[in-house]
């Protein structure tokens, strides 16, 4: 399984960058996790839109879905031009149904998903878990045929569910929206220290912090997470690639 960070910012993208978007490729299957602002443009550095198999949408906040309707037009045009032969499968949190108005069902095949959904894309198995967030949001687990696991937290506050769900993940891609000094100021997101505690309690392997704030020194997030977690911690960056 190969993971490429397309975007790593919370709320809005920094210049020439993107908010949430993570591209996963495994044995020929090409899967995009979230499609935030700036993701559609940057994704094309790593994946032809003709070849994208599926998109997973964790929740309906703009920093996770802003580009999905532009992607819908891209698929429409590529299919009309004959450059793409199959619709794009889009797996969307069913709680977002009233907020996600797709227009071209022949091009975007929408599947509504929840924490009870289990699905297989190519040889990748996917499972989901419910987070604590101000609108319903799903965490996602991808398991490759050789048993390697990636858990992507989506947006979440601190909860037992994400600890249980991330248990023994080989790679934990976890939101770190706040510095520790902001603890308790805003629910539904994690401080870096909380992200580190989750990684430690879950016994996760490589932990990648993402969904960054637009202020402060991001290295401080890694330092705060490492106060709780002894394993490897990295800060996500646009274009970062991980093979497992
Ligand atoms: Zn977000
Ligand atoms: Zn959110």
- What range does the domain containing 35 cover? 2-243
Under a CB-based contact definition with an 8 Å cutoff, are residues 5 and 24 in contact? no
pLDDT tens column, 59-71: 999 999 999 999 9
For residue 62, the CA-to-ligand 2 centroid distance in Å is 8
Instruction: Give the chain's domain count.
Output: 1
**Helical packing angle, 192-202 and 218-226, nearest 10°:** 40
- pLDDT tens digits, 144-203: 999 999 999 999 999 999 999 999 999 999 999 999 999 998 889 999 999 999 999 999
State both tokens at 156. Answer: 């979440």
Ligand 2 ion: nearby residues, β-carbon < 5 Å: 61, 155
Dihedral of alpha carbons 216, 219, 223, 228, sign = positive
149 contacts 169 by C-beta, under 8 angstroms: yes
Instruction: Using alpha carbons, select from 169, 100, 183 the residue that is nearest to residue 139.
Output: 169
CA of 79 to the centre of ligand 1 (A): 31
CATH number of the domain at 95, please: 3.60.15.10
- CA 9 to ligand 1 center in whole angstroms: 8
Ligand 2: centre distance to CA 61 (Å): 5
Among candidates 69, 59, 1, which has minimal Cα distance to 37?
69
Q: Give the percent of the chain with pLDDT over 90.
A: 98
* Ligand located closest to 188 CA: 2
* Span from the CA of 50 to the centroid of ligand 2 (angstroms): 28
């Amino acid at each position: 399984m190969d993971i490429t960070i397309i975007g790593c910012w919370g709320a809005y993208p920094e210049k020439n960058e993107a908010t949430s978007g993570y591209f996963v490729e495994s044995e020929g299957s090409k899967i995009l996790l979230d499609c935030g602002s700036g993701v559609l443009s940057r994704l094309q550095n790593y994946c032809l839109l003709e070849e994208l198999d599926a998109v997973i949408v964790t929740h309906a906040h703009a920093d996770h879905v802003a580009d999905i309707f532009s992607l819908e037009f891209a698929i429409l045009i590529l299919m009309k031009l004959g450059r793409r032969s199959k619709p794009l499968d889009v797996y969307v949190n069913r709680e977002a149904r009233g907020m996600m108005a797709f227009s071209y069902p022949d091009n975007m095949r929408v599947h509504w998903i929840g924490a009870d959904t289990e699905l297989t894309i190519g040889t990748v198995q996917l499972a989901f878990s419910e987070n604590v967030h101000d609108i319903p949001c799903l965490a996602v687990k991808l398991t490759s045929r050789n048993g390697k696991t990636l858990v992507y937290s989506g947006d979440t506050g601190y909860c037992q569910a994400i600890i249980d769900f991330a248990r023994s993940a080989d790679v934990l891609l976890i939101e770190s929206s706040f510095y520790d000094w902001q603890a308790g100021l805003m629910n539904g997101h994690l401080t870096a220290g909380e992200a580190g505690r989750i990684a430690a309690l879950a016994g996760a392997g490589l932990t990648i912090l993402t969904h960054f704030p637009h202020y402060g020194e991001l290295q401080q997030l890694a330092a705060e997470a490492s106060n709780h977690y002894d394993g490897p911690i990295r800060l996500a960056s646009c274009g970062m690639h991980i093979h497992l």
